[in-house]
Amino acid sequence: MFRRYLRLLKVRLRASSLLAMQYQADFLLDGLISLFWMASALVPLFVVYQNAQRDIEGWSFGESLLVIGWFTLLQGILEGAINPSLQGVVEHIRKGTLDFVLLKPADAQFLVSTENFLPWRAINLVAALIIFGYGFHQIGRAPSLSGVAISLVLLGASVLLLYSLWILTVCAAFYVVKVDNLTYLFTSIFDAARWPAPVFRGVLAFVFTFVIPLAVMTTFPAEAMLGRLPWTALVWALLGSLLFAFFSRRVWLHSIGRYTSASS
């Protein structure tokens, strides 16, 4: 079963790559625009630290760059692998074409989650590695092997969290047809993940840790690379991501059960 879905994923990735490379000028232009937006994301950080001339909430400029690096990497995964496919679910529901997906002999959530990819977003991975390198150059040391290994484990948890939150957002389309504003709101909230979690206080700190766990997605992996993430935080992050995945799966199955096609 696993090998069957893996082959199906490879087929869909290949189809998306061929489609994207069909118009090479557009492919290169999209990549350049992506680079521009990634560079612009660094500007607020330079402005803040230039004016402050000191650490902010215990985070130096170089350490904050690590958070930006994780944000850049996750933004590429969100906009290149998660968002393009799941945005199509809303259109399927609106046009009544989700029936064709449900009739196929494969899991519907897998099919709608792998329908479309934007391969040029892989440029975010290169940009993130450059930011990590510059960040550690500013700090004056290299990350430990154990820190890198833990941060990679947290990358898996972060992707699972992002995907689960996006599934929950898309499930709203089964109840209210127009969810464009909701997806824009989620994207705007995700922008806050570019800042270290201690910057936020009060209600925002609670929301960004437990409700929309942005701190787990970018600040925790950065702390792991710095070798100062407590083991308890790692365990809670993994358990939390699994809980979000289980909850989003149940909500998806419940939403599919309520779905009525356009022809019924």
Q: What is the pLDDT of residues 98-135, one digit of tens each?
A: 888 888 888 888 888 888 888 878 888 888 999 999 99
16, two tokens: 């998306």
Q: In 3D, which of 190, 205, 193, 197 has the Cα closest to residue 223?
A: 197
Is 105 contained in some domain? yes
Q: Which two tokens stand for residue 258?
A: 């309520």
Count structural domains, the chain. Answer: 1
The segments of the chain whose pLDDT lies below 50 read none
Backbone angles phi, psi at 56, to 5 degrees: -120, 115
Residues near 65 by Cβ (< 8 Å), separated by ≥ 6?
45, 131, 132, 134, 135, 138
Which structural domain range is residue 215 located in? 1-258
Q: Give residue 164's pLDDT.
A: 92
pLDDT on residue 38: 72
> What is the model's pLDDT at position 156?
93
What's the whole-model pTM score? Answer: 0.86
Helix axes 24-52, 2-21, angle to 10 degrees: 100
Structure confidence at residue 70 (pLDDT): 93
Q: Is residue 264 part of a domain?
A: no
Cβ neighbours around 67 below 10 Å, total: 27
How many whole angstroms separate alpha carbon 77 and alpha carbon 119?
10
Residue 190 lies in a domain: yes
Structural domain contains residue 263: no
Nearest 5 degrees, angle CA 224-CA 229-CA 230?
Answer: 145
Report the pLDDT value the prediction gives residue 89, as an integer from 0 to 100.
Answer: 81
Calpha distance 63→136 (Å, rounded): 8
